[in-house]
A and B are shown apart, each in its own frame.
Chain A
């Protein structure tokens, strides 16, 4: 079974630029999560989708972050404009059923904002 795919793996941008990350979850997984992991911290949930609907986006900085999951499969997370404090690893995870509490993570995209 293929795992969660993410691209790009690394991205370096200057502050105030925009950036987008892509995630392809495990086939058949209805729930998709985006996490932000700042160096030395645990992952923090940004947004959660069930199919193509948003379940929880309470910790998403909506003035600069946006995410979508068209057709309930792939998802993109965008930051516009980026700030220095957005430097982090952005992890995508998916799960087959929310009730199972088992989330499978992708390798992440490491973002550096200069």
Chain B
């Protein structure tokens, strides 16, 4: 079993839709949770970073962490064609910066 599981998609939605991206993990020692966005032929860029359980909002993006279920989510409101990319979840244990990535979910938002 992989430490971090993520549905690879692809996920195709119309512009304006609410998108839900998810990851599950098996290592209860993970304390830091991140979402990266990766455009084609580019490096990943950090979107959201959370430490505790609960929600964190930044503009159209909301990151949600449920440590009891070992489940994290990224919600994108009012999705735009420019949101079309691969979204990677990543996590690390307390007191280290070694990131374990999911496989990424490819999202396509069509006009």
B41 engages A101 (CB within 8 Å): no
Answer yes or no: A31 CB below 8 A from chain B CBs. Answer: yes
Q: How many residues of B contact A (CB 8 A)?
A: 23
Please pick, from B8, B43, B92, the residue contacting A93 in the complex, using a CB distance under 8 A: B43
Main secondary structure of the interface of A (DSSP, over half): mixed
Contact mask A5-20 → B, CB, 8 Å, 1/0?
0000000000000000
Write out the residue numbers on chain B whose beta carbons fall within 8 Å of the beta carbon of A106: 43
B45 engages A45 (CB within 8 Å): no
B49 engages A56 (CB within 8 Å): no
Name 11 interchain pairs, CB-CB below 8 A, sorted by A. Answer: A42-B104, A43-B44, A48-B98, A93-B43, A103-B46, A105-B36, A105-B43, A105-B44, A105-B45, A106-B43, A107-B42
